[in-house]
Chains A and B, each alone.
Chain A
Amino acid sequence: MSDELDTVVVPGVVDSALRAEFPGLRLDWTTVRAGMRDSPRELRRRLMDLSSRYRGASVIAMRTQPIPHAYRAFFRQIGLDPDITRIPSEEAAVARLLHGQFRPENLIDDALLLALIETGVPVWALDATGVRADGLGIRLTADGERLGRSEYADYLPARRLVVSDAGCVHALLFGAIAPGHEVSSRTERVVLFAVGVDGVPAIHVEEAIWVCVEALQTGARG
């Protein structure tokens, strides 16, 4: 059986208190075999082609489109100002305008970027060795929790929205990944997760992960 057939996108657990407040909030995740390496030519060419989709005027008008609007509204609702902390798709678009193109970095980052551009839904990657098999979810922090399991990990204030498994906090929602949990040159398997909010169809969230998986598997073959 091929890797693609083995891959299953699983809906993560959203804390019941959060689900009551944000009925549209969801996290989908999957595990896939991939390592840090150069992107294949095909993926780099695809990013170059996508660069031509972005013009100044379209980036300005981006925030009026449904999916970016949904993320911007959600950012505001969780205390982030999207004019200061940009939503991922706007961040990518601004980087594209500044650099003149989407700059290829490595296979994993490029696959994440591709999924973001294609669907508007952000996808993140974690080193799978640090993630428990029962999977990821979104919850609120309690007092005294830390970002990551390192001895020097930062303490988090209570009631922060985080991505975690049963063991520890892996990342702030739409924020920093815990040090040591991100993908590195030693990574062999990655956990991909995408976050959807109210106003973003569930199929987009799933599609974002599949675009990413497909790009990673193409890169692994190439």
Chain B
Amino acid sequence: MRRGAADGREGLVHWQPLVTWHRLGKEEVVEVLEHRRSGSLVPPAAPSTAVTEDAERAARRTMRAQIARLEQQLADAFVTAFPMGGLEPVAGLPGQPRLLDLGELEQLRDELTERLRRARATISERAEAHAANRVLLERMLIEPGRYRFVRLSRADIGEPGCGAYEVRPRLGLIGMLMGWWQVKLSSGCPLPRGRRRSVRRP
């Protein structure tokens, strides 16, 4: 915004236009305030309707651009979060397409900002948990005896697919008695048909 655009008039009057937004219920109006710095000779002119409409339209356009940008960032967050378990699904009822006024656009922008903040917090928390679990896995591999029967799934360390790392005794009971421990990675995903039932024969 240009400030003090009328400053060049012999120093008599200095106007500083400010545009502020006031919420009146569900309606949003733009109000142009003329702040007088010095002198009191010229009364402030009332803003014309066309100027107000143009300003409102410009504000709505800016808001829509912000919403589009937030949508892009939310999409990126969604894709990033998906391998980590995804984001919480959005609840709500389907609506009808309508022309949103400035107040509704502002509210939508704020909601998206909040949603994006939550999405980024979720991603950050999960990334930290994965990093901590990867450090734990490293320690399990270095000193398995200190982490007996600790189990980490691949999902816990941010890896795709099924399976789990677990500290198990080598040779079962003998390993337990002798202190022979190792990290084992379980074999892949279960079969889609599950375990075959044993067939009883008469």
Contact = CB atoms under 8 A, between A and B. Distances in A.
Interface string B16-29: 00000000000000
A81 B100 contact: no
A85 B60 CA distance: 23
Given A21-B60, A160-B96, A77 B67 contact: yes
A61 B78 CA distance: 9
A80 B97 contact: yes
A157 interface: yes
B71 A173 contact: no
A157 to B, nearest CB: 7
B100 to A, nearest CB: 5
| Size category of the binding interface on chain A | 20 to 34
Interface residues of B, number: 28
A172 B97 CA distance: 7
A156 B98 CA distance: 11
Given A63-B78, A64-B79, A73 B72 contact: yes
A76 B112 contact: yes
B98 A159 contact: yes
B92 A78 contact: no
Contact of A78 (B57, B93, B99): B99
A142 B96 CA distance: 15
A52 to B, nearest CB: 21
17 contacts: A64-B76, A69-B75, A72-B75, A73-B67, A73-B72, A76-B71, A78-B99, A80-B97, A81-B90, A81-B94, A84-B90, A84-B92, A85-B95, A159-B99, A160-B96, A161-B98, A172-B97
Interface of B: 57, 60-61, 64, 67-68, 71-72, 75-76, 78-79, 82, 89-90, 92-100, 104-105, 108, 112
